[in-house]
Structure 1
Amino acid sequence: MSVRTKICGITQVEDLEAAVTAGADAVGFVVGVPASARDLSLERAARLVRQVPVFTSSVLVMVPGALDDLVEAYETIRPDILQVHGDGVPSVEKIREAIPGAALIKGIRSEPGEALRAAEEASGFDAVLLDTFFPRVQGGTGMTHDWRISEKIRKNLSPRRLILAGGLTPSNVQEAIRTVRPYAVDVSTGVESRPGIKDHGKIASFIENVREVKL
């Protein structure tokens, strides 16, 4: 099995094109997270999503404050996939009722003693993204976590899919894949030259290194 790759935190067309050219399976756009250097307005995210080509999936990444915010963003941006983080995420039943047919990813953090429970509570989502736990921060920390916990969560989630995130780089992604055996890997800070701006060489190296590993 080939592990899929998502390049997250895209903020400009040049970085989108670099990710697509390198062969990314998905690209992520962060909306509604003002503390992040990768945060986009609805309008800018919509413009970028319209430039994502066929056969590359666009992912809207949000920490929603309310269901209405989620629906407005989804209807404005029209991504292929919706990825939600945070403790205030509406129930998956409410999201599916409001946005029927949407592919849904739930982001959880590898908080000691809580990650397994959080993964079980996300059972109604299509996939779970596991990121590094850092107090009051939802993703984008650039820090790794204990991949043995990730492996355990992946086994418990089966047959649902685990997406591994958190501190991945071109130099450590192969070890992470061999340890956890995820469905996909997600990277943002690990392929940046500075916050919010991607390093195109790192993107290419990351994806090449992912493709070298066969599970």
Structure 2
Amino acid sequence: MVKVKVCGITNLEDALASCEYGADALGFIFYNKSPRFIEPEKAKEIVKAIPPFVTTVGVFVDEGANTINEIVKKIGLHAVQLHGNESPEFCEGIQSKIIKTFRIKGARVMGIGTGEQGVNKEMERYNVSAYLLDTYKEGVEGGTGATFSWGVAKDAIKAGKIILAGGLTGENVKQAIKIVMPYAVDVSSGVEEMPGKKDLKKVMEFIETAKGAI
């Protein structure tokens, strides 16, 4: 069964409801330019209140390694998601399991290193726990609401555990899962009333559909 991560959690109500509906993981964004940004202290209170078997993930964009490690330890997060241009060498300094994001445009990874690279070739450079594939949109770090070619993601599963993101909704997640067969799917804007506030009916429907897809 495919796992589900609900990202962009900013309040306890959305966190508890997502857990109740069957979310396997929750994502907290510690990037202050995001409309889904949450202060570490607030995230800590939410993490304390959710069930113990739900994975908690801190999302960072080109943040310093020391800051990331401090926030992870302070809150008690299970993993970090690096959503910027972090290098393989940078990842070695992170004292936690890492999900590395690769933003896809066409069949290329954008924004990491010296420019555009083939997806599998770029992923092979990283020794991380999982790879999250998201849609590239200039000036936007996640939550784009746009999809990319799922065939690219399907081909990438040979490199490791793939978390599929990018414009997923309750309407398209079943098809996406059947095509890609990912380790997990990640949703944020696709289940929102507005940035930072989830539509709980959409959350429930998304999780039910994803869990029942295969």
| Alignment TM-score > 0.5, same fold | yes
2-structure distance, mates of 1:181, 1:107: 18
Note if contact 1:60-1:83 (Cα within 8 Å) is conserved in structure 2: yes
Task: Read off the aligned partner of 1:149 and give its amino acid letter.
Answer: V
Determine the structure 2 residue equivalent to 1:136: 139
- Structure 1 length normalisation: TM-score? 0.90
Once residues 97 and 191 of structure 2 are traced to their aligned partners in structure 1, the CA distance between those partners, rounded to angstroms, is 26
Give me the whole-angstrom Cα distance separating, in 2, the residues matched to 1:207 and 1:88: 30
The aligned counterpart of 2:125 is: 121
Aligned mates of 2:32, 2:59 — CA distance in 1: 13
Taking the TM superposition and a 5 Å limit, the aligned residue runs for 1:40-189 are: 40-88=38-86, 91-95=90-94, 99=95, 102-112=96-106, 113=108, 114=117, 115-122=119-126, 124-155=127-158, 157=159, 160-189=160-189
Unaligned 5+ segments in structure 2 are 109-116
Q: Secondary structure at the match of 2:124?
A: helix
What is the CA–CA distance in structure 1 between the aligned matches of 2:49 and 2:85, rounded to whole Å? 31
TM-score by length of 2: 0.90
Give ranges in structure 1 of 5+ residues lacking alignment. none
CA RMSD of aligned residues (A): 1.4
Structure-2 separation of matches of 1:62 and 1:187: 16
Where 1:64 maps in the other structure, the secondary structure is coil
Cα deviation code 1:76-115 (max 9, x no counterpart): 22111111111145522222xxx2xx22111111134333
Percent of pairs with identical residues: 39
Structure 1 residue 148, shift from structure 2 partner: 0.7
- How many residues are matched? 203
Counterpart Cα distance in 2 of 1:171 and 1:70: 35
SS at 1:91's partner residue? Answer: helix
* One-letter amino acid matched to 2:191: V
